[in-house]
Copies of this chain bind each other. A is one copy, B any other.
């Protein structure tokens, strides 16, 4: 299979630099498609396409205003990204104590759902 679609989750959606630019721009407040395209020097269709991706993952919402569509940032959708990287901050800050604790718990939880040592007699496939 190929790479995951950009609409699967926020991490994929923000992998594209231009979409990050749009997000940053929208943090100032809602803007129309043309305003976005102008501010970032994108073509209009490309801007619409990027906005579609962002909308599908919930990172933006739309409001109709006459001929225009005003896009607004839904920044709280970035929280999963923040929560994930946040824990590594302690590494480059030189404080590992809290991080290791967090990771022990995280991996204990993952180990349970993640196979390899499934205790059931395994009537799996075939």
Taking Cβ atoms with an 8 Å cutoff, the residues of A that contact B are 3-4, 6, 9, 11-12, 14-17, 20-21, 23-25, 27-28, 38-41, 73, 75-76, 78-79, 81-82, 84-89, 91-92, 99-100, 103-104, 106-107, 110-111, 114-116
Cβ-closest chain B residue relative to A102:
B27
24 examples of A-B residue contacts, CB within 8 angstroms: A3-B6, A4-B15, A11-B17, A11-B20, A21-B110, A23-B88, A24-B106, A24-B110, A27-B88, A28-B103, A41-B116, A75-B88, A75-B92, A76-B91, A76-B92, A78-B85, A78-B88, A79-B92, A81-B81, A81-B85, A82-B85, A82-B86, A82-B89, A85-B85
Docked pose: A4 CA to B92 CA in angstroms: 27
Do B17 and A99 touch (CB < 8 A)? no
- Oligomer copy total: 2
Docked pose: A1 CA to B100 CA in angstroms: 41
Docked pose: A107 CA to B25 CA in angstroms: 7
Q: Using Cβ atoms and an 8 Å threshold, which residues of chain B touch A116?
A: 38-39, 41
Shortest beta-carbon distance from A108 to chain B in Å: 11
